[in-house]
Amino acid sequence: MPTAEHAIRWDPSQGGPQHLSQVASMLGLREGKWKHMTVRYFSVEGPVALPPGYRLIGRERTGPDGTECMVKLRGPAPLPEPLLPWAIPLKGELKRKQEFDVSWGAEGPLTSALSVSGTVVAASLQEVLTDGYHATPSERMHQMVRLKDKALDITIEAWHLHSGRHIFEVSGEGEVGADGLPMDVASDAFQLRVVRPLTAGSLKALAQGLTTLAEQT
């Protein structure tokens, strides 16, 4: 079932909440266990030619529960006919997800895109790619700390990028309608529950996603 992932990101050096505990308190999240993870992105190439505006993204995310290997197809909605249905190029016990990614600013959504991804637990991404696909790893390794409140369905992440830049992200899932687009009620709830409290001060929301931010030097 497709979902919408609403997210707001900012660089604390440019304003806004400066500490994870501050963010959690502002949003009323319960104290929990912070998970530390190491993240590396990959450039993925395969035999299928992608239409303009689409790209394949690979990722390895290593934490206390092992390494999650992911491949994601990302681009504008809806998926064009040549990509339907898209076969995720991963072997193993696959967790499939289709999301409408919405990046928020103080006044409303800044950007949006559709993503279809698959994740498996494995030692490395390359070993679980299907034949004909190849993943080139980035030289950049990133550190991330995460807290998820399942009751509120809100996740806080603090990223320390390879470049030295720090990025905070707060995200939450919402429903999509029959047209595959985020429902207004879910968008309104995220704006009221997350965006307004965080942007009441000096926070400057970033339009770029974390994959793009991680690629910047």
pLDDT in tens, 102-124: 999 988 999 999 999 999 999 99
Tell me the percentage of the chain whose pLDDT exceeds 90: 79
In the numeric block, the tokens 């193993």 are attached to: 92
CATH of 3-215, one of 3.30.2130.10, 2.40.50.430, 2.40.320.10, 3.40.50.720: 2.40.320.10
Percentages (nearest 5) of helix, strand, coil residues in the chain: 20, 45, 40
Provide the mean pLDDT of the chain: 92
CA separation for the pair 47, 91 (Å, rounded): 16
Q: Which of 6, 14, 7, 13 is nearest to 204 (CA)?
A: 14
In tens, the pLDDT along 49-108 reads 899 999 999 999 999 999 999 999 999 988 888 888 889 999 999 999 999 999 999 889
First-residue to last-residue Cα distance in the chain: 36
The Cα 209–Cα 160 span in angstroms is 15
User: Does residue 9 carry a pLDDT above 70?
Assistant: yes
Strands 108-121 and 3-10, how do they pair? unpaired
What confidence tens digit (pLDDT) does each residue in 150-172 have? Answer: 888 999 999 999 999 999 999 99
Domain ranges of the chain: 3-215
Q: By C-alpha distance, which of 108, 134, 112 is closest to 194? A: 108
Whether the predicted pLDDT of 178 surpasses 80: no
**Alpha-helix runs per DSSP H in 64-119:** none
**Coil/strand/helix, residue 195:** helix
Residue 135 has pLDDT above 90, yes or no: yes
Q: Is the peptide bond before 51 cis (omega within 30 degrees of 0)?
A: no
